[in-house]
Structure 1
Amino acid sequence: MRRRRPAWRRLCHVWWHVSALLLAVPAAAQEVAAPAPGSVADLPGWAEEDAAAALAPFLGTCRALAARDPAAPLGGAGTLAGRAGRAADWALTCAEAAALPPGAERAFLERRFAPVPLGTGLLTGYYEPVLSGRLAPDAAHPVPLRGSPPPPPEGARLPDRAAIEAGALDGLAPTLAYVDPVEAFFLQIQGSGRVVLPDGGLLRLLYAGKNGHPYRAIGRVLIERGEIPREAMSMQAIRAWLAAAPPDRAAALLRENPSYVFFRRDEALRPDEGPPGTLGVPLAPGRSLAVDPAQVPLGAPVWIVTRDPLDGRPIRQLVHAQDTGGAIRGPARGDLFWGWGEAAAERAGPMREPVEMTVLLPLPAP
């Protein structure tokens, strides 16, 4: 499914995305290039883009920005920060977008935005898991998903994963549901998920905090031990290893990561909405992107040129910087939200594709 870092509290929200599960991708901060000649209409593949579908998530961005202080910083570096780094920088463009008649989306995007290339980088993927769960434990669902415990005394920190799994927070951290142990671990990596109950009920769980211990990628552990070759590493490879390993070895591997994530329930999200990202907007499958906010302003549209991780087909489409992630560092580094469930997991898991990224900046009103 970040997979992306402290909390869903909007101050410094960050997911743990799939890329954090595998290997961190270091990238130094850089100055973003100035706008290149050309226009949105010149972007590779632009003529085939569904402009109405591409613009729809931007309207959600605009609603989130309208609720912020106009001077509130959105991030970005260099030119991007100067022209799109505050909520106020988007006000006129958002007002025009909200008033567009049907069929005017393509002309609007071509007229009101200028492309700023970020260069070639890396695109990974994340998703929202869908889990089978119970409100009471059984043989197939023995592991609790926990809400936040009381804060520890000053100068102390909460127990690590092994201690929590041994019961260190029993009676302190509320239990929200019971699930399979491997599914619980991957849910913590993704940061949010859907738990389906036997009666058809659905629990939407969002990130609420973590225990303060450092994150250790179990994918890296398996590579270091020679269990999985580096070139074959993926979320699916890790799942296959865990399924084949004796239960005690599988549990021991999960405990190699001392970090532990707590959740909270959200009653307001519709089933057709993704979880909210850093910007506070429900994430849209294939259209929401996690970025490094030190480089790319939250809310900015981003044109990506990459390929599908399963069939290699070209992907050239407009996405929106609506989230952040712990392993997402650098100007041309992104994490694409694929949606929820197995189909999304199949693409998010192996995705480590080269990508050309171009930010679209709002032009001054004519």
Structure 2
Amino acid sequence: MPDDTVLPAPVQRGKSLWVPVRWSELPGWGQDNLYEVWNAWVRGCERPVPGHAGLCAEVRQLSIATASEQQAWVMRRFLPYRITETDGSLPAGLLTGYYEPIMAASRVPTSSYRVPLFGPPAGLRSGQPWYSRQEIDTLPAAQAALQGRAVAWLADPIDALILQIQGSGRLNIVESDGRTRQVRVAFAAHNGHPYQSVGRWLLDQRAINEASWAAIKAWAVQNPGRLNEMLWSNPRTVFFREEALSELDARFGPRGAQNVPLTPGRSIAVDPQSIPYGTPVWMATQGPTLNLQRLVMAQDTGGAILGAVRADLFTGWGGWSDEAYTVAAALKQPLQMWALLPR
């Protein structure tokens, strides 16, 4: 569509308003390597958003197209909409990051690995609160309900908390025969309590100056007698299921809320009441961690991902020293978003 074509009316989308714009209004449009997002788009087509099923056949055919052919197709078949608040105002927006941690674990409890990751207890009902994190640690009834349901055991309770906040992870797990293999633990359910940030809890008490995991871990080492108090400030507990990790699975992240594997740098978590899963989104952000203008796919959500212009960028997988972690941990900067709607 030429840039002088009359634009359609805005579209109300739950918690957001989508205002049509011209392609020339997208900062950086035409400079992105669209082939990098195509794998994420193809995976998203395993669970296409309503109205996209026919387009998905074309997406698959264009997997081997040139960058210019892919760009021309996107412009021909879609129209960009600026995502705003429901009244049309433009918020500052917020982009954060998340990743898939890789951690050492044991199949059975040992003197070193004493922190369990549990599978869902019997009788857990979605939307109904179960025992809180503190109650799970202290009430015999809660502990009895989780007896025999540990998927694996970690060495550090803060690592277990990180895994729960990220929603999934890869474990280098020591089996009973002494061999180590890598498996994935994926989000299975949570206990129905609201998520509360332990970093915010520590900041409010002026116990730390920045809400980084390094600062939180350092505080825990210095204050072992208050560790549970900090952990219990977040009543939400996440339960996991174990998944085999094939060679193909290892090339992608865990399955997000859209139930498709996440692609590093190209999958985002959104508020589904603002942006439906499977929606292509043009994202622009400038800040101390990343300067990005690129096409991404809305394929996941999270407890803290709320609002019209709010996204969490999946950065990949790794340990404490890897780029996936360092970027995800540092990323917190303004965001602009445009959803692409089929014409």
1:345 is displaced (CA, Å) by 1.6
- Paired position in structure 2 for 1:97: 59
Q: C-alpha deviations, 1:243-273, integer Å up to 9, x for none?
A: x323222233112222222111122662222
The answer on whether the counterparts of 1:308 and 1:315 sit within 8 Å (CA) in structure 2 is no
The answer on whether the counterparts of 1:309 and 1:347 sit within 8 Å (CA) in structure 2 is no
**Cα distance in 2 between the residues matched to 1:272 and 1:167:** 41
**Aligned amino acid, residue 323 of structure 1:** D
Give 3-state SS (helix, strand or coil) of 1:344's partner.
Answer: helix
1:157 is displaced (CA, Å) by 5.5
Structure having greater relative contact order (Cα 8 Å, sep ≥ 6): 1
Give the structure-2-normalised TM-score: 0.81
Q: 1:148 aligns with which of 103, 115, 120?
A: 120
**Cα distance in 1 between the residues matched to 2:288 and 2:189:** 31
Q: 2:208 aligns with which of 228, 231, 234?
A: 228
**Aligned amino acid, residue 47 of structure 2:** A
**Cα distance in 2 between the residues matched to 1:335 and 1:236:** 20
Deviates more, 1:56-65 or 1:332-341: 56-65
The answer on whether the counterparts of 1:133 and 1:178 sit within 8 Å (CA) in structure 2 is yes
Q: Does 1:289 align with 2:262?
A: no
1:280 is displaced (CA, Å) by 0.7
- Paired position in structure 2 for 1:32: 17
Deviates more, 1:178-187 or 1:164-173: 164-173
* Count of matched residue positions in the alignment of Structure 1 and Structure 2: 306
1:290 is displaced (CA, Å) by 0.9
- Paired position in structure 1 for 2:218: 240
Q: C-alpha deviations, 1:297-353, integer Å up to 9, x for none?
A: 21111111113653xx52111110011122222221111111111321211122111
Aligned-residue identity in percent: 38
Q: 2:170 aligns with which of 194, 198, 202?
A: 194
**Aligned amino acid, residue 35 of structure 1:** P
**Cα distance in 2 between the residues matched to 1:240 and 1:346:** 17
Unpaired runs of 5+ residues, structure 2, are 1-13, 84-89
Give 3-state SS (helix, strand or coil) of 1:283's partner.
Answer: coil
Q: 1:214 to 1:334 in 2, by over 3 A?
A: closer
1:171 is displaced (CA, Å) by 5.1
Q: C-alpha deviations, 1:30-85, integer Å up to 9, x for none?
A: 5414211x22x6632233311211222111111212xxxxxxxx5xxxxxxxxxxx
Q: Does 1:250 align with 2:245?
A: no
- Paired position in structure 2 for 1:48: 31
* Structure 1 outlier segments of 4+, above 6 Å: none
**Aligned amino acid, residue 121 of structure 1:** G
The answer on whether the counterparts of 2:270 and 2:298 sit within 8 Å (CA) in structure 1 is yes
Q: Structure 2 matches for 1:167-206, cutoff 5 A?
A: 168=140, 169-170=142-143, 172-173=145-146, 174-179=149-154, 180-198=156-174, 199-206=179-186
- Paired position in structure 2 for 1:324: 301
Give the structure-1-normalised TM-score: 0.76
Unpaired runs of 5+ residues, structure 1, are 1-28, 66-73, 75-86
